[in-house]
Chains A and B, each alone.
Chain A
Amino acid sequence: KNEVEQSPQNLTAQEGEFITINCSYSVGISALHWLQQHPGGGIVSLFMLSSGKKKHGRLIATINIQEKHSSLHITASHPRDSAVYICAALATEYGNKLVFGAGTILRVKS
């Protein structure tokens, strides 16, 4: 069992739809990162959170420490949101190193 699991693995949505990507982890963490990777492009850090909720534009990230679960939401999705979204846990038992989920491939159709 992977220590950081994401769902779904693949997601296709219509432009304008509300999107949710889930991340569950089994390790103790000091923070959780959401990253975005465009095809052929680099990785961008979207959020880093250790509690509650953060919002940036159309993106919202939430975390529930007790349930060891985080979600990334995209409101009013757009084709330019198409990318791989990666959840990464800053694992305290590994000396605060990032443990990555497998990623969710999102495609938003116009």
Chain B
Amino acid sequence: GAGVSQSPSNKVTEKGKDVELRCDPISGHTALYWYRQSLGQGLEFLIYFQGNSAPDKSGLPSDRFSAERTGGSVSTLTIQRTQQEDSAVYLCASSLTQLGTDTQYFGPGTRLTVL
């Protein structure tokens, strides 16, 4: 694929259920980022995978949030026991190298609605 893809594009779930959001980065990109954009608020950093290094999880809002990146490619963001305040658009981005100054390419996002 030409760009970053995310699935599903929309997810509606009930409070208390677990959800998994998927990100397929651009092939060959070693860095992968997850961000969240809540309604009426700006973007916030969640987690950053950098090559084979341990991920930077400093932006995860609670221990209900976790993410993994298998084989240095696809990443999954998991939210356990979802709450209404988790409703947001979850965006994934990737960049070619581990350098922080590389251009990040964003996916279309997954819109999560927790009822």
**B residues in contact (CB < 8 Å) with A:** 33, 35, 41-45, 48, 56, 58-59, 91, 93, 100-101, 103-109
Q: Which residues of B contact A99 (CB under 8 A)?
A: 45
The A29-81 residues at the B interface (CB cut-off 8 A) are 30-31, 33, 35, 41-45, 48, 50
Smallest CB–CB gap between A7 and chain B, Å?
14
Q: Which residues of B contact A86 (CB under 8 A)?
A: 42-43
Closest residue of A by beta carbon distance from B111: A40
How many contacts A-B (CB < 8 Å)? 53
CB contact between B104 and one of A33, A41, A94 (< 8 Å): that residue: A33
**A residues in contact (CB < 8 Å) with B:** 30-31, 33, 35, 41-45, 48, 50, 86, 88, 90, 94-103
Q: Which residues of A contact B108 (CB under 8 A)?
A: 41-42
Complex CA gap A48/B95 in Å reads 13
With A50-B101, A95-B56 in contact, is A100–B43 under 8 Å at CB?
A: yes
